[in-house]
Amino acid sequence: MNNSMYQSSVPAFVHALNNLATILEKGAAHAEAKKIDPSVLVGARLYPDMFPLSRQVQIACDNVKAGAARLAGVEPPAFEDTEKTFAELVARVKKTVAYLQTLTAAQIDGSEDKTISWQTRTSTKSMQGLPYLNSHLIPNLYFHVTTAYNILRHNGVELGKRDFLGNP
């Protein structure tokens, strides 16, 4: 049985984002329990030249929201990058999951050979659908979710591998 483009994308994206929401909720609970100003964690970075937790979450969401929309041939919704609290970050993740769940297999399947183009800060990029999914979307999602996890773990939030992987 072949794995479809839809099955390789949307369910994996939703799973990773739901785990990210759980990680963020644990970060909020940690801040409350330890009497830490939550904005300290939301603004935390692993290194001064890296994006803070809030931006890692925004990018993770934007990456899959726009990527899945490109595969489906539709325009993604625009989200403003205004989140400053754990609750707002969790809401953004959940809003992204809700959007992804509106996409259907019929919209995404067959996009393996479709040319996908997108604008970066410095150039326009193009790839075929399958390499776009496997070499761009999935690695970027996991990079930013992993970095968000690492920021919180580095700051003392009790997280483990199960939090990152979630329940299958």
Q: Is 27 exposed, middle or buried, given 0-12, 13-18 or 19+ CB atoms closer than 10 A? A: buried
Locate all alpha helices (DSSP H) within 34-109, ordered by sequence. 38-42, 53-72, 86-100, 105-108
The verdict on pTM exceeding 0.75 is yes
What is the residue-averaged pLDDT of the chain? 96
Question: 5-33 pLDDT, tens per residue?
Answer: 999 999 999 999 999 999 999 999 999 99
Structure tokens at 47: 């290194």
Of 55 and 168, the structure prediction assigns the larger pLDDT to 55
Using 50, 70 and 90 to split pLDDT, how confident is the model at 2? confident
What is the rounded CA–CA span in Å between residue 25 and residue 121? 31
Domains and CATH numbers, the chain: 5-155 (1.20.120.450)
Q: Which of 113, 99, 102, 101 is nearest to 71 (CA)?
A: 113
Crossing angle of the two packed helices 53-72 and 5-33, in degrees rounded to 10: 160
Task: Give the mean model confidence (pLDDT) for residues 70-93.
Answer: 97
Structure tokens at 163: 């939090």
